[in-house]
């Protein structure tokens, strides 16, 4: 238990001193502010460009924005935040394989599964904290600027997207113990997400895939019912757990 705690502390120190924590913090806060800001600025921007738009045959009538526009921005920006998160953290295992820093820790009795557990815990914690910070900022501004009662299922849709992030990170961990270079991690994770997205284009199967969880817009507009998401939620949770529980025995037998 002590060694797990020590290794986790090391991971957090690394995140802090390498500047990754700062970058992620700035990123999530920035996205959090940007979502309502863009929504708020849209009418003003359109007004500014009204003349030139008129020239091309478009007339700008009065534009009204609501909290829904801000949430739409949120679901547009969150994928970028997740991609940035994955790219930034994709070397969390592979860097240690390449430099050989794990060898010393393991030869002094650190249990191998502690490595997987610590790194995963740090990743999930950072994702969770960053994501909900971004959500919180957007939510607060939206509630302040607009009437929030028009938004359906704001928390449930956010939970779905958060869980999609957890699923992607679980994939990233699995590919981190299988491959040795972070290109492998990025390719592996990216391919699985892409495959899930492509299969999701078939309407009959789409609701069973984790990528279905990214459709936050249908939820906030009340187009889709929450029940429709239950299958995808369950499958995401189960497959994330599977990825994580496979990672441990694979890492136990990994040649370092």
Partner 1 sequence: MDMLRIGDLHKRFGEKEVLRGLHLSVPEHSIYGFIGKNGAGKTTAMKTVLGLLQADAGEITVNGEHVVYGQTATNRYIGYLPDVPEFYPFMTAREYLRFCGEICGMKKAENESRCKELLDLVGLGEETHRIKGFSRGMKQRLGIAQALLHRPKLLICDEPTSALDPVGRKEILDILLAVRKQTTVLFSTHILSDVERICTDVAFLNNGAAKIQGKLSEMKMRYRREEYRLETERETDITILRKAFPQMKSVGQNQVVFSANDYAAEVVLRFLADRKISLLKWEREEPTLESLFMEVTRK
- Closest-CA residue to 127 (of 173, 192, 93): 173
Residue with tokens 């020590």: 6
The site map against partner 1 for 12-31 (x = CB under 8 A) is -xx--xx-------------
Supply the DSSP symbol for 223: S
Site for partner 1, residues 84 to 103, rule: CB under 8 A:
99-101, 103
Do 21 and 126 contact (CB within 8 A), yes or no? yes
Assigned token pair, 4: 């797990």
Minimum CB separation of residue 177 from partner 1 in Å reads 13
State yes or no: residue 245 binds partner 1 (CB under 8 A). no
Minimum CB separation of residue 76 from partner 1 in Å reads 35
Span of 10-18, 119-127, 178-186, 194-202 interacting with partner 1 by CB under 8 A = 10-18
Do 239 and 167 contact (CB within 8 A), yes or no? yes
Q: What is the per-residue burial (b if ≥16 Cβ within 10 Å, else e) of 66-102?
A: bbbbbbbbbbebbeebbebbbebbbbbbbebbeeeeb
State yes or no: residue 252 binds partner 1 (CB under 8 A). yes
Minimum CB separation of residue 36 from partner 1 in Å reads 36
Q: Which of 112, 123, 135, 213 binds partner 1 (CB under 8 A)?
A: 112
State yes or no: residue 3 binds partner 1 (CB under 8 A). yes
Supply the DSSP symbol for 76: H
Minimum CB separation of residue 107 from partner 1 in Å reads 4
Residue number with CB closer to partner 1 (104 or 201): 104
State yes or no: residue 180 binds partner 1 (CB under 8 A). no
* Residues 6 or more apart whose Cβ sits within 8 Å of residue 150: 66, 67, 68
Query: Footprint of partner 1 on this chain (CB under 8 A)?
Result: 2-3, 5-7, 9-10, 13-14, 17-18, 99-101, 103-112, 252-253, 255-256
């Amino acid at each position: 238990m002590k060694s797990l705690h020590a290794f986790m502390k090391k991971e957090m120190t690394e995140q802090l001193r390498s500047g990754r924590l700062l970058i992620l913090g700035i990123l999530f806060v920035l996205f959090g502010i940007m979502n309502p800001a863009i929504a708020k600025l849209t009418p003003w921007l359109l007004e500014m460009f009204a003349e030139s738009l008129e020239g091309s045959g478009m007339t700008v009538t009065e534009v009204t924005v609501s909290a829904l526009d801000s949430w739409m921005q949120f679901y547009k920006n969150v994928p970028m935040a997740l991609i940035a998160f994955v790219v930034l953290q994709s070397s969390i295992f592979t860097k240690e394989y390449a430099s050989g820093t794990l060898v010393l820790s393991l030869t002094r009795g650190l249990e191998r599964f502690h490595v997987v557990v610590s790194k995963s815990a740090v990743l999930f914690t950072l994702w969770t904290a960053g994501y909900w910070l971004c959500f919180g900022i957007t939510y607060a501004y939206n509630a302040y600027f607009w009437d929030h009662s028009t938004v359906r299922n704001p928390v449930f849709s956010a939970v779905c997207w958060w869980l999609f992030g957890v699923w992607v990170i679980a994939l990233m961990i699995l590919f981190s113990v299988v491959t040795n270079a972070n290109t492998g991690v990025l390719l592996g994770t990216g391919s699985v997400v892409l495959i899930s997205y492509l299969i999701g284009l078939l309407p009959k199967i789409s609701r069973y895939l984790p990528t279905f969880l990214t459709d936050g817009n249908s939820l906030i507009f009340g187009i889709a019912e929450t029940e429709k998401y239950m299958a995808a939620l369950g499958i995401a949770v189960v497959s994330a757990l599977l990825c994580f529980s496979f990672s441990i025995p694979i890492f136990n037998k990994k040649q370092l």
